[in-house]
Amino acid sequence: MSNSVSLHRVIKATPEKVFKAFSDPVAQAFWLPPYGFLCTVQEMDFRTGGKFHMSFINFSTGNAHSFGGTYLEIRPNEFVKYTDKFDDPNLPAEMTTTVSLTAVSCGTELKVEQVGIPDVIPPEMCYLGWQESLEKLIKLVEPEIPDA
């Protein structure tokens, strides 16, 4: 269970705005599921030691997979580390995801590392899913839309 993925992006938005996308349940439901999936957030206590639980629903089939975990460390606008475990007993691994945000001249450098991916999930599929999620994250946080 040493499967892992690492991703790196530079996003044209402030660390505060990117962090908000990780800390807001409505935002997470929008950007976190890969294309073709919907997300329902059942619980999100975004604080160190807090718990979360959500479901990804395959839009084509209606099938869902649920998962949850614990926030291990949160440093506002800089860092989020959490565990993640599927409810399905056939996916027994506990994953750990680390998100680092660093202010750079044009916005935010984002680094994501996920370790402990269950053996039955090919890491390349997990990587593809994260790439799609980060595309959606960028589409959420980069636009500057003034109040009307």
- Decide: residue 61, CB within 10 A, 0-12 exposed, 13-18 middle, 19+ buried: exposed
Q: How confident is the model at residue 92 (pLDDT cuts 50, 70, 90)?
A: confident
Domain boundaries, the chain: 3-141
More confident residue, 25 or 90: 25
Over residues 7-53, the pLDDT tens digits come to 999 999 999 999 999 999 999 999 999 999 999 999 999 999 999 99
- pTM value is 0.94
As assigned by CATH, the class of the 3-141 domain is alpha beta
Q: How confident is the model at residue 148 (pLDDT cuts 50, 70, 90)?
A: confident
Query: Which of 97, 101, 102 is closest to 126 using CA atoms?
Result: 97
The overall average pLDDT reported for the chain is 95
List of E strands, 1-148: 3-11, 37-44, 51-58, 64-75, 79-86, 94-104, 107-117
Distance from C-alpha of 69 to C-alpha of 116, rounded to nearest angstrom: 13
Q: Give the per-residue pLDDT at 2.
A: 53
Burial category of 5 from C-beta neighbours within 10 Å (exposed 0-12, middle 13-18, buried 19 and up): buried
Buried b / exposed e over 99-132, threshold 16 CB at 10 Å, is bbbeeeeebbbbebebbbbbeeeeeeebbebbeb
Joined together, the tokens standing for residue 51 give 């718990």
